[in-house]
Amino acid sequence: MFEFTILVIVISAFLTLYRMVKGPTIYDRILTANIIGTKTVVVIVLAGFVFKSPQFFIDIALVYVLINFILVLAFLKYVEKGRLD
Amino acid sequence: MADLVLLFFLIVCAVAAVVQKELLNSVIILSIYSLIMAVVWVRLGAVDVAITEAAVGAGISTVLFIAVLTRVKRREELTRIRLQILPLIVVLAVGLTLIYGTLDMPDFGSPAAVTNTHVVPRYLEKGVEETGTDNYVAGILASYRGYDTLGETTVIFTAGLCVVLLLRSNKKRL
């Protein structure tokens, strides 16, 4: 059951690749990175339940969420201001 | 099945990152690549590697790429692509040699693999009494391979110092 859910979520994340490759503006690609981040957090927690030790995997999921947040902030700051500081 | 989709995902990301002419797009696609790679590590059960990949591959190196992009032009120069035969042959030969080299490796997770039979049983037997920790990984890293870990820490410390020095000198010049 968890495996099937992982498969569905991974395929739904795969569909966003169209916007990543085609995406006319830069914001489509940033949104793709954000969506894939949120999808994969769910996949990581589900994989934790597949391996029957969710506590470690929830830790990674938290690290992952924070890094994805920093990533999107860095991209958007660069697009808006042209520099990072 | 989900693993196959993930690996196909990686191939699409790698090709797209190379093909893109706008460098910021390549950076975004590379960060997506690292995020997917972290999921692949999680699916293989390598949790610590996944944390490192997510933190370093997706986080720090992407921010460093963007920091480089603030100093250089954002578009790649348009170059005429032509098929070069000799490099293609060399790349294919090296790739096939590497694939041939993996044929001798033991099956994934096989209990007869050398890593599972050589020193690991001894660590598992004597680890707790010899190192005094209940965590085998910490015992192996900090006690049995203490000098190795010390060297790695020195390397990382030196790299961090170099980054700090480079960034400071850059700021002074501007």
Domains of chain B: 1-81 (1.20.120.1200)
Structure tokens at B15: 């090709």
Mean pLDDT of B65-78: 80
- Domain containing A70 equals 2-81
What is the rounded average pLDDT for all residues in chain B? 84
Whole-angstrom CA distances from B125 to B119, B134, B136 are 10, 12, 10
Among B13, B43, B62, select the one facing A74 at the smallest CB separation.
B62
Compare all CA atoms of chain B with the CA of A72 and give the residue at the minimum distance: B28
Mean pLDDT of B8-25: 87
Among A33, A43, A60, select the one facing B47 at the smallest CB separation.
A60
| CB pair distance less than 8 Å for A60 and B50 | yes
Whole-angstrom CA distances from B33 to B26, B45, B120, B170 are 10, 19, 33, 30
Answer whether residue B49 shows pLDDT above 90: no
CB A60 within 8 A of CB A77: no
State whether residue B22 is helix, strand or coil.
strand
CA nearest neighbour of B51 among A72, A38, A59: A59
Neighbouring residues of A67: CB distance < 8 A, sequence distance ≥ 6: B54, B55, B58, B59
Mean pLDDT of B107-113: 76
| CB pair distance less than 8 Å for A71 and B6 | no
pLDDT on residue A60: 79
Question: Rounded CA gap, A50 and A7, in Å?
Answer: 13
pTM for this prediction: 0.74
**Residue of B11, B31, B171, B174 to mutate, interface with A, max A Cβ within 10 Å:** B31
Whole-angstrom CA distances from A58 to A62, B32, B137 are 6, 20, 20
Give the end-to-end CA distance of chain B in Å, rounded to a whole number. 52
Judged by a CB distance cut-off of 8 A, whether residue A58 touches chain B is no
CA distance B135 to chain A (A): 14
For chain A, what is the domain count?
A: 1
**Residue of B11, B21, B39, B70 to mutate, interface with A, max A Cβ within 10 Å:** B39
Give the ipTM: 0.86
pLDDT on residue B82: 77
Structure tokens at A20: 């990543």
Along chain A (85 residues), what's the average pLDDT of each consecutive run of 10 residues? 87 86 84 87 87 82 86 86 75
Burial letters for B2-41: b for 16+ Cβ neighbours within 10 Å, e otherwise?
beeebeebbebbeebbeebeebbbbbbbbbbbbbbbbbbb
